[in-house]
Amino acid sequence: MPERPSTTVASTPDKDLAVVRAMIDELQDYLLGDDVYRTLIVVTRRGEERIQSSCGDLLARLHKLEGQNRLLSTAQSEELAAFRRRMEAVTKTLQERFHALMEREIRARLNSLQWYLDDCDEDRRQCRVEYPFEIRNRQRIAEMLKVLGEKTPQEIRDKTAAIDRRLREMTVSADFVWDERVREVYPQAEYWYLYALPGA
């Protein structure tokens, strides 16, 4: 069993743009459906890939791409801006469904984090290995909470705060746990849980 934490390797801007393009193309149908998670077939430079799509995944990829804008060509930057406009137009029209799906996704991701933290009580070594992957749930929750803003139900606020308390209690300060190439996209003051690891 590995003792060193796994590394979450960031996908390239090219791949993220391809994934976001596919997500945006399917967004209206997704919002009109009932599933929180949807599998898409995305054509990238490496061929066809199966990608999990959701509100949180789309918002997380947009956040990362916008944070890496200096790495994009002019054409890519313009395409990204167009994706953001298309997303906002669709979600404005279907805002009630957009918010309802985000609330369901946040609850699902909070439950996943809770189960992970419960498992950490049993096996701290494996907990450290899995942390960089599992903490993706918290970052995606963060992006959805930004969109929900004041419309976030109090029950979700309370459960998020409870999960954060558990995370703070069981972690110690650490280097950035994801790919160093995207560190600047996630400032420590806001994304503190990406600069922490479960204590030994």
Q: Could you read off the pLDDT of 82-134 as tens digits, one per residue?
A: 999 999 999 999 999 999 999 999 999 999 999 999 999 888 899 999 999 99
* β-pair type (38-44, 47-53): antiparallel
Contact predicate 54/37, CB 8 Å: yes
Residue 139 has pLDDT above 70, yes or no: yes
Q: Give residue 3's pLDDT.
A: 47
* Mean pLDDT, rounded, of the chain: 93
- Which of 146, 139, 113, 148 shows the shortest CA–CA distance to 57? 139
* Closest residue by Cα to residue 160 from 193, 182, 187, 185: 193
Q: Is the pLDDT of residue 1 over 50?
A: no
Look at 1 and 149; give whichever has higher pLDDT: 149
pLDDT tens-place string over residues 11-41: 889 999 999 999 999 999 999 999 999 999 8
Mean pLDDT over 129-151 rounds to: 97
d(CA 5, CA 126): 9
What long-range pairs does 141-148 form, CB within 8 A, spacing at least 24? Answer: 141/56, 141/106, 141/109, 141/110, 142/190, 142/191, 143/56, 143/59, 143/60, 143/63, 144/55, 144/56, 144/59, 144/102, 144/105, 144/106, 145/106, 146/59, 147/59, 147/102, 148/99, 148/102, 148/103
pLDDT at 157 over 60: yes
1 in helix, strand or coil?
coil
Q: Which residues of 4-27 are buried (b: 16+ CB within 10 A; e: fewer)?
A: ebeebebbebebbbbbbbbbbeeb
